[in-house]
Structure 1
Amino acid sequence: MPSSAARLVATLVACWAALLSSAQAAPWSPLPVGTDVAVRTAAGRVLHGRIDARSDEQTLWLVAEAAGIAITSTTPASEVIEVTAAERVALAPLWSEVAETTPPAPSAASPALPDRVVVRSLEVAAGVANWDADPQIDGLELCLSPRGEHGEAIGIGGIVRVELHVETGGKWPSNRRFAIAERWQVEVAAEEFGPDGAVVRLPFERLQPELRSEFPPLGVLQVRYLVPGEGVVDATISDLPLAPPSFNRDRSELLTGSRRLPGETRPTRQ
């Protein structure tokens, strides 16, 4: 009888451990390495790529390839809502393969285009924006404008990676440093570019700049644009205003300890 009870206890413990292990498994765990997937994140974005062998239960690694460039991205398990198998999504090539047949001669109304697009630099502009019903700042609007060999604007698709650095630390200057407060990655299609570039929305997930008073309301924005077949161009905004000056918020913090104004609701972040 004691041995039967011991076997029963051991069986229950094994079942509990299996259930616990299953509950802690990442959404992508059932899928083998190399599977093409679509990933829906807590921020509402959908990422496409191939599961990389470096993925574990804490971090999902995706790899996408286009025109000989392998683009890698990482997403923490806490930000992943759903992972499903999907067909491989190929980024559009920069130029079509040259046909073996002789192309028609360009007419006077249609001047000949260059064989390829050359991206030499990147111009960016950014500012805070509010795009929902509450009064708080929701994020940044970033304007991208890739430039060609002679400084001309080029509307070419790619992937933009952005990091926002803000000052953190204690009251002593020796403890101050710049740390990453927000990070984004967004695919930009060639059709999104107009005469002044493409505008990309970058929603804040953690930062509430209007409630920060211990540091200057400025950030450093580092932007990297990956163009398949061309490489990478970088740009930096070293002094990006994150919140306008507010005498009343300063007075509210002095009198009540809070920078929220009377009747102001908390932000509704998606």
Structure 2
Amino acid sequence: MRGLAGRRIILTGGASGIGRATALRLADEGCIVAVLDINGDGAQETARLAAGKAGTIAAHTADISDQDAVTAAVDAFEATHGPVEGMVNVAGWDLPIPFLETDRAFWDKVIRINLYGVLVMHHVVLRRMAERGFGRVVNVSSDAGRVGSSGESVYSACKGGIIAFTKTMAREMARNGIILNTLCPGPTETPLFDAFRAASPTGGKIAEALARAIPLRRLGKPEDYPGIIAFLLSDDAAYMTGQTISVSGGLTMS
């Protein structure tokens, strides 16, 4: 895609699932990618899988809700590879629990990972992009943030917050040459969804029901999303900002 080769990208949640698939696709496109993930071993494995590709992947172990850790990781990446030009926020976590059965500790964990982590990443990276007058950002939300999802109340609130935050940042940063868009996946076969399925006695039946409800009759795969993410980071999408795009096999159509 136009403009992607050599572009320096920060990506969170790249140790597995959608994040890993996206990091590897970006390496195929010739990008220089920094994977930030609390799972350092998984991030290192993603970097190893990029051997022989046109681009490279560097692994950084970091808790994205820790601003000092994120700043150190971005500093280290830029010292070696140069200024960050793109960012993809994929990292997320949840378990299926009805809201009235949750507690404050659960809320705090879900919000820290799914919302505060995104805020921290933007606070660290957007400042640098604004000073340089260029940036491309893709935030991975969820269709749960657009239409809700039973058993995922706090997660849905965070994902809806990401959609609104991205639109606001798209307005604030447009004059600085920064464009931001949101991708909303549907249910996807990832380690997070495996944990979601295992956390409930009816998890398997829920997964089957979701697949039946999707017009394309299957759950998503991690490889279903990197193409649109690469497009949104490329110069082919230079006139798109503040948009929310669902990739869910037709599960949501509005």
Structure-2-length-normalised TM-score: 0.26
| Higher RCO (Cα < 8 Å, 6 or more apart) | 2
Greater fraction of residues in helix: 2
Q: Which structure shows the higher strand fraction?
A: 1
- Structure with larger Rg: 1
Q: Structure 1 length as normaliser, TM-score?
A: 0.25
